[in-house]
Structures are given as structure tokens and as C-alpha cells.
A and B are shown apart, each in its own frame.
Chain A
Amino acid sequence: MDAISNFAYSINSELLTKVSLLLDNHIVFVLVIMALVLIKESRNAKRLKIFAALLLAFFFATCIKILTGVERPCASLDIPNCPSSSSFPSLHATLAFVVMISFLNKRSYWMFVLFALFVSLTRLVLAMHSFRDIAAALPIALITYNIVDVLWRSFTWKRLK
């Protein structure tokens, strides 16, 4: 493992581990993401755009996971209950970064940065991912949001015309 992943994995905090395990649950994580978007974004059109970006990012990241098939760090560390699915890239981090980017022009953006970095940290703490998996999630999120933004603009522009 790299230095950043090693450092995060070596953090010995019961509370952080409990929160990490809670966010590791897919249902809990999706509910948190949905709640954040619904609470912090009041416009329905923008909400729809964010959910479209989340869906597309999920699709891209899942395809890359299947194609690359990288073993999770927890598998090489012999940690019990380590998932057999591919490690690269981190789906949790990808979705958290998509939400972060969606609020780039908002006053609350810094909170979403902290949220995305915290989610990334929880993945490293559990050794579910290495820093490389987290780092790859950021460009996937940015590119996906850019694609959705371009498509969204052309769609709404056509409707206006």
C-alpha cells in the first residue's frame, strides 16, 4: 500500500471505524447522498441533473471496476468480510465527488469537499480502497458531471428554441 493509504489504515479510532462501517453500507450511503442533494438543492431541475450525473458516474465506475478487476487492499491484508468485488475505482468516492462538484458555485461547497474527503478517508480506514482508487474517482466524477452538464445545456437550449 502507498503512504497515504497506510497512514489512514493505521488510524486507530473506534468512532471513525464505526462511522466508516455505517457508510460502507450501500443503502445508508445512498440515503445520505440523496438526503444531502434534496436538502441543499431546492430546484427540481438541478436535483434531476445531479441524480443523472450520479447514475452516469455509477455506470462508468462500475464498468471500469469490471474491466480492471483490481484486488482490494483488505484482501491482501487478510481482513475478514473483505468484498470480492474489484477495488478500482472507489464507487463511494466517485458518488461523493459528483455531489461535491454539483455544488461548486454554492456557499456550502466547502462542506461537500469535507464530506467527499471524509467518505474517501472512511474507505481507506477500512482498507476497502487504496489512495489510487480514491484519486481515480475524482476525474471520473469531474468528467461525468461535465458530460451531463453539456448534454443538459443542449437539451434545455433545444427546448427553449
Chain B
Amino acid sequence: MEEIEIKRQLFHILIGVIALLILVFIGKGTLMAFSFFTLIIGLLLVNLTFLGKKILLVEFFRKHFERKNIPFPGWGSACYATGVLLITSFLTNQNAIAASIIILGIGDGVSTLIGRNGRIPLPYNRKKTLEGSFAFFLSSLLGYSFVGPLIIPAAFLAAISESLDLPIDDNLFVPIITTAFFMVV
């Protein structure tokens, strides 16, 4: 696996853990405000990059953490922040928010780390592997400590949605599915 992809996924997991710590120790209101203003400031930095300005922070993330063929520099980070903001603003139950962040931050990160070395491609999406989806499901079960057995269908749905070949980014689609699930149940 490319070194940049390993770094990207480890950073992805780290941000998920930080978001979880903010949620547990400070509160969901702080996490919501933090992700809202991070997104607003982040998009302003993206705009400056569009205008040809070299922003040290954006360049650092672009060099170390961004994938190729993305719509704009900072795309992955923007989608991730949008996902966290979606979860924190739509869900009111702190335990459901924590479980959703585990699915988005840890499940998605671990699935890519494991899935890239997987050998069995999924029949409906040859770009993803069965090992990756299984790793997604298993690592998402860490959310059991917050929502109990409800994590099993939530992790299953999220793992399925992450494995689909959709034109929308995983970091947006997975939170949409987990948020919808926890709003319904």
C-alpha cells in the first residue's frame, strides 16, 4: 500500500478519536461548533488555494494526506468535517453520536488499511475487498460500549454502504446512512 494512503488512514482514525474525546469530555455542543467553524475556515483556505495562494497548512495536508484525482485540494478533509458536522447536528443522543463517529472515524479508516491488502474482491464492486468490508464491520463494533446491540445493524448497514461504488464520497455517504439509522431507531 502507498505510504501516503497509510498516513491518510492513520490520520483519519486519529481525527475520529479526537472527535470522540471532545464529545465525551467536553460535550456534543462543543464538537458541533468546533466542526462547524473548522469547516467554514477550512473552506476559506481551500478558496485561497483556488486563487493560487500557497497556504502552508493546505500544502502540508495535500502533500501528506490527500488522494489524487479529487475535485479540489482539501476535499477529503472537507468531506470528513462535513460528516462529523452532519452526525453532531442531526443526532441528539450523545451515545448515538459517539457510535456514528466510531463508524466514520475508526471503521472507515481500518477498512481501507486492511482492505487494500485484501484478496477477495466484492462481486458488486471490484475496487473493494471482502476483507476490507469485514474489517469495517468488526472495528465499528467498538461502538457497542455506547449503543449496545444496536451497533450490529448500524455497523452492517455502514459497511454495506461503504462498499458500494457510488459517485459520492464515503466520508459523506457513511454518515448519512448511520445518521438516518440512529434517527429512525
- State the A residues within 8 Å of B (CB): 2-4, 89, 101, 104-107, 109-110, 113, 117, 131-132, 134-136, 138-139, 142-143, 146-147, 149-150, 154
Contact = CB atoms under 8 A, between A and B. Distances in A.
Given A104-B46, A113-B44, A135-B88, 5 more contacts: A106-B47, A107-B51, A135-B85, A136-B90, A143-B82
Q: Which 5 A-B pairs have the closest CB atoms?
A: A136-B89, A139-B86, A135-B89, A109-B47, A105-B50
A131 B85 contact: no
B33 A131 contact: yes
Contacts of B168: 143, 146-147, 150
Contacts of B114: none
| B contact residues, range | 20 to 34
Given A135-B32, A146-B168, A104 B89 contact: no
Contact of A105 (B72, B90, B167): B72
Contacts of A147: 168
B172 A146 contact: yes
Contacts of A89: 89
Contacts of B90: 136
Contacts of A142: 39, 78, 82, 172
A28 B28 CA distance: 34
B122 interface: no
A42 B143 CA distance: 49
A139 B85 contact: yes
B43 interface: yes
B172 A138 contact: no
A135 B33 contact: yes
B47 A105 contact: yes
Contact of B36 (A109, A110, A138, A143): A138
11 contacts: A105-B72, A113-B40, A113-B44, A135-B32, A138-B39, A138-B85, A143-B82, A143-B172, A146-B169, A146-B172, A150-B168
A143 B176 contact: yes
B153 interface: no
Contact of B72 (A104, A117, A132, A136): A104
Nearest to B35: A135
B52 to A, nearest CB: 10
B82 A138 contact: yes
Interface in B25-62: 29, 32-33, 35-36, 39-40, 43-44, 46-47, 50-51
